[in-house]
Structure 1
Amino acid sequence: MNKTNKWIYFFLVVLASCTAAKVLSDEKKPTFYIIGDSTVRNGDGSGRNNQMGWGSFIANYFDTTKIDVQNLAVGGRSSRTFITEGRWDKIMATLKAGDYVIMQFGHNDGGALDDTARARGTIRGIGEESKEIYNPIMKKQEVVHTYGWYMRKYINDAKSKGAIPIVCSPIPRNQWKDGKVIRSTDSYSKWAREVAQAEGVHFIDLNELVSQRYEAMGADNVKPFFPVDHTHTNKEGAQLNAEIVVAALKQIKPKGLSKYLNKQ
């Protein structure tokens, strides 16, 4: 082997070693998975209505050289359809010990179980009730469970992989009464809290925390966050909600997460 070939060989060995080290490093790097509906991920802010969800801004608060942040929420999904469409199975295929899964569902769970437009509703509550229906979207029989049943599945599946689940109650809609934001304290926020407590996992009451911030700002100042309807925030509203999520994460301190958050 001549001198030139030796240098080429040396370079290739070093390059292969660096590549292998990066692959190994990426495999060990934890992932912060975000799952939910359109209030969590809804476009990129460049569309006509500037709509975005809070999950799109979470990565800004993390050192992404140390942790991957994947916002896999999808507009229009309920706690049920995120599973039945196979989206949760894809996450489970890569989920590993030390990962995190933060979840927020509820906005789309109140619909009909078997309507021809969406067929995304869940049975109200957190019990073990179920109902078999014909799903006109999937064109097959399906057993539909309660909202709590699906949330428990996410939690227990994540635990089975050694991942850390974090449950959020749904962000509030821009609906007010007597100067106060209307909460969902008798439905999805309540049920999200109850499931999290029963399963012994972290809970962030976004419904309450965001409502408090909105009330401090006043209805007139909050209104621009909702350019189309009372549910979907624009970029500025999503950024505010992301800030609230991260502040809550710093307070509840899920195992090991603090070392991945930027110092701010």
Structure 2
Amino acid sequence: MKSAKKYLSLTLIGAFIIFSSCIVLKKQDKPTLFLIGDSTVKNGKGTGDGALWGWGSFIGDLFDSEKIYVENDALGGTSSRTYQSNGLWDAVLAKVKKGDFVMMQFGHNDSSPLDDTARARGTIKGIGTESREIYNPIKKKREVVYTYGWYLRKFISDIKAKGATAIVCSPVPRNPVKEDAVVLANDSYAGWAAEVAKAEKVDFIPLNQIIKDKYGALSAAKVKTFFTEKDHTHTNETGAKLNAAAVVEGLKKLKKNKLHHYLK
């Protein structure tokens, strides 16, 4: 009898270990969508401090959490250059595995000066191969700075090497309301992002244009409700949710991209 009970106990323990292992494996097999970008993707800690929100704080609500993780690793104030040169990209890349997705959106801060004493975060305009050696007054050392397109290509190359899928988004538009009118302007970085994505044969979401089309169909008074009064760049919660929905709208048009299968 004791032998039978012992056998039963061992059988139950073994079954429990196998069941637990299956749960762990299932959890590990679930892919991750990593978001990288600036404050328009994640402002501050992503909790709405100062009523400022990035779209990355809400896009996770549009995905099925049972099938995919969404990790917002964007950081306010960064450019495509400083996200790499300050080690942020290395930290994210270390977590990326085969089958994951990395969605990027940079551009707002790339137009800043290359070597000012405030941020030293700018990139050379365009998507070419040119570079410039500068003295970085923040880091107090020499640094070679490349074009916006060069840094995007570096992200894409690293992602492909990991067996993951890169998705490039054009930067969201700034507040287009001027003198009580919606004035929609072209964004050079939106065009450059599209060119890089096409050349590197990765998926592209024309986020800038999708959102501008929505603004263009609304009154100036309505568009103003999407932004904070603190500056002309950052959205409030309503605006960030609109931008998140616009990302998904663009994603659904990428029929060959497996990421849209994980949407709710």
Give the TM-score, by structure 2 length.
0.91
1:80 is matched with: 81
2:250 is matched with: 248
Question: 1:208-263: per-residue Cα shift (whole Å, max 9, x none)?
Answer: 1111111212211111221221100011100011011101101113532232111x
Aligned residues: 260
1:66 is matched with: 67
2:156 is matched with: 155
Give the secondary structure class of the aligned counterpart of 1:150. helix
Give the secondary structure class of the aligned counterpart of 2:167. strand
Give the secondary structure class of the aligned counterpart of 1:39. coil
Aligned CA distance change for structure 1 residues 157 and 46 (closer, same or farther; 3 Å) = closer
**1:88-99 superposed matches below 5 A:** 88-99=89-100
For 1:32 and 1:188, locate their aligned partners in 2 and report how far apart those are by CA, in whole Å: 23
Give the secondary structure class of the aligned counterpart of 2:195. helix
2:223 is matched with: 222
1:181 is matched with: 183
For 2:16 and 2:119, locate their aligned partners in 1 and report how far apart those are by CA, in whole Å: 51
1:234 is matched with: 236
- What letter is aligned with 1:174? N
Q: Is the 8 A contact 1:184 1:207 kept in 2?
A: no
Aligned CA distance change for structure 1 residues 198 and 2 (closer, same or farther; 3 Å) = same
Aligned CA distance change for structure 1 residues 242 and 16 (closer, same or farther; 3 Å) = same
For 1:152 and 1:121, locate their aligned partners in 2 and report how far apart those are by CA, in whole Å: 16
More moved, 131-140 vs 67-76:
131-140
Task: Kindly state the Cα deviation for residue 139 of structure 1 after the two structures are TM-superposed.
Answer: 2.6
- What letter is aligned with 2:64? D
- What letter is aligned with 1:76? G
Aligned CA distance change for structure 1 residues 3 and 133 (closer, same or farther; 3 Å) = farther
For 1:230 and 1:8, locate their aligned partners in 2 and report how far apart those are by CA, in whole Å: 66
Question: 1:20-43: per-residue Cα shift (whole Å, max 9, x none)?
Answer: 222222222111111100000114
More moved, 173-182 vs 137-146:
173-182
For 2:72 and 2:257, locate their aligned partners in 1 and report how far apart those are by CA, in whole Å: 20
Aligned CA distance change for structure 1 residues 177 and 197 (closer, same or farther; 3 Å) = farther
Question: 1:45-89: per-residue Cα shift (whole Å, max 9, x none)?
Answer: 443x31110111111111111111111111111000111111111
For 1:19 and 1:140, locate their aligned partners in 2 and report how far apart those are by CA, in whole Å: 51
Q: Is the 8 A contact 1:169 1:205 kept in 2?
A: yes
Identity %: 52
Question: 1:1-30: per-residue Cα shift (whole Å, max 9, x none)?
Answer: 678766665554344323322222222211
Give the secondary structure class of the aligned counterpart of 2:260. helix
Aligned CA distance change for structure 1 residues 4 and 174 (closer, same or farther; 3 Å) = same
For structure 2, list consecutive stretches of 5 or more residues without a partner in the other structure: none
Q: Is the 8 A contact 2:131 2:146 kept in 1?
A: yes
Give the TM-score, by structure 1 length.
0.91
Give the secondary structure class of the aligned counterpart of 1:141. strand
More moved, 37-46 vs 190-199:
37-46
For 1:176 and 1:136, locate their aligned partners in 2 and report how far apart those are by CA, in whole Å: 36
For 1:46 and 1:188, locate their aligned partners in 2 and report how far apart those are by CA, in whole Å: 26
**1:136-175 superposed matches below 5 A:** 136-175=137-176
Q: Is the 8 A contact 2:98 2:162 kept in 1?
A: yes
Q: Is the 8 A contact 1:172 1:184 kept in 2?
A: no
